[in-house]
Structure 1
Amino acid sequence: MSLTKSGDVASRFSAYIEGLASVIGHAGRAKPLRDYCTGLMMPCDRKSVEPMAAITAPERTAAQHQSLLHFVGQGDWSDQQVLAKVRELVLPGIERCGPIEAWIIDDTGFPKKGRHSVGVARQYCGQLGKQDNCQVAVSLSLANHHASLPVAYRLYLPKEWVTDRTRRRKAGVPKEITFKTKPAIALDHLRWACAVGLPRGVVLMDAGYGTDTALRGSITELGLSYVAGILPQTSVWAPGTGPRPPKAWSGNGRPPKLLRRDSKHRPISVKKLAIGLPAHAWHKITWREGTAEPLSSRFARVRVRPAHRDYWLAGSRPEEWLLIEWPEGEAAPTKYWFSTLAANIGFRQLVDIAKLRWRIERDYHELKQEVGLGHFEGRSWRGFHHHATLCIAAYGFLVSERETIPPSEAASTKIFKEAAIPATYRPRGSAIAA
Structure 2
Amino acid sequence: MQRLLNAASWDADGVRDDVRDYAVEHLGERDGVLVVDETGFLKKGTGSAGVQRQYSGTAGRTENCQLGVFLAYATSKGRTLIDRELYLPKSWTENRDRCRDAGVPEEVEFATKTVQARQMLARALDAGVPAAWVTADEAYGKDCKFRTWLEQQRIGYVVAVACNQTIPAAGGTSRADALATHAPDDAWKRRSCGDGAKGPRLFDWAVASLPVYEDTAPPG
TM-score w.r.t. the length of structure 1 is 0.46
Letter in 2 for 1:278: P
Change (3 A) 1:166 1:195: same
Matching residue of 1:144:
75
In the TM superposition, 1:84-95 aligns within 5 A as 84-95=17-28
Q: Which structure has greater strand proportion?
A: 2
Deviation of 1:109 after TM superposition, in Å, equals 0.6
Matching residue of 1:426:
none
Deviations 1:3-55 (A, max 9, x none): xxxxxxxxxxxxxxxxxxxxxxxxxxxxxxxxx3xxxxxxxxxxxx4xxxxxx
Distance in 2 (CA, whole Å) between partners of 1:314 and 1:153 is 30
Matching residue of 2:185:
279
Is the 1:207–1:230 Cα contact (8 Å) retained in structure 2? yes
Q: % of aligned pairs identical?
A: 31
Change (3 A) 1:224 1:90: closer
Distance in 1 (CA, whole Å) between partners of 2:179 and 2:165 is 10
In the TM superposition, 1:338-349 aligns within 5 A as none
Deviation of 1:317 after TM superposition, in Å, equals 4.6
Change (3 A) 1:225 1:278: closer
Local SS of the residue matching 1:217: helix
Find 1:131's aligned residue among 58, 62, 70: 62
Matching residue of 2:9:
76
Matching residue of 1:334:
none
Matching residue of 1:162:
93
Deviation of 1:148 after TM superposition, in Å, equals 1.1
Deviations 1:227-248 (A, max 9, x none): 111110011233x312xxxxxx
Distance in 2 (CA, whole Å) between partners of 1:286 and 1:105 is 20
Is the 2:53–2:62 Cα contact (8 Å) retained in structure 1? yes
Local SS of the residue matching 2:47: coil
Letter in 1 for 2:12: D
Deviation of 1:301 after TM superposition, in Å, equals 2.0
Distance in 1 (CA, whole Å) between partners of 2:46 and 2:200 is 45
Local SS of the residue matching 1:303: coil
Local SS of the residue matching 1:169: helix
**Structure 1 vs Structure 2 CA RMSD:** 2.8
Deviation of 1:140 after TM superposition, in Å, equals 1.0
Local SS of the residue matching 1:82: helix
Q: Which structure has greater helix proportion?
A: 1
| Unaligned segments of structure 2, at least 5 residues | none
| Unaligned segments of structure 1, at least 5 residues | 1-35, 37-48, 50-67, 243-266, 319-434
Is it true that 1:209 corresponds to 2:115 in the alignment?
Answer: no
Change (3 A) 1:288 1:279: closer
Distance in 2 (CA, whole Å) between partners of 1:175 and 1:295 is 43
Change (3 A) 1:193 1:110: same
Deviation of 1:285 after TM superposition, in Å, equals 3.7
Change (3 A) 1:104 1:196: same
Is the 1:109–1:134 Cα contact (8 Å) retained in structure 2? yes
Distance in 1 (CA, whole Å) between partners of 2:217 and 2:22 is 45
Distance in 2 (CA, whole Å) between partners of 1:74 and 1:209 is 35
Letter in 2 for 1:207: E
In the TM superposition, 1:240-251 aligns within 5 A as 240-242=170-172
Distance in 1 (CA, whole Å) between partners of 2:216 and 2:10 is 49
Q: Which has the higher contact order (CA 8 A, sep 6+)?
A: 1
Change (3 A) 1:94 1:272: same
Matching residue of 2:114:
183
Distance in 2 (CA, whole Å) between partners of 1:77 and 1:115 is 26
Deviations 1:102-132 (A, max 9, x none): 0111111101112111110111111100111
Change (3 A) 1:207 1:305: farther
Matching residue of 1:413:
none
Distance in 2 (CA, whole Å) between partners of 1:131 and 1:294 is 27
Corresponding residue pairs, total: 216
Letter in 2 for 1:205: A
Deviation of 1:315 after TM superposition, in Å, equals 7.1
Letter in 2 for 1:208: A
TM-score w.r.t. the length of structure 2 is 0.86
Deviation of 1:145 after TM superposition, in Å, equals 3.0
In the TM superposition, 1:296-315 aligns within 5 A as 297-305=203-211
In the TM superposition, 1:88-127 aligns within 5 A as 88-95=21-28, 99=30, 101-127=32-58
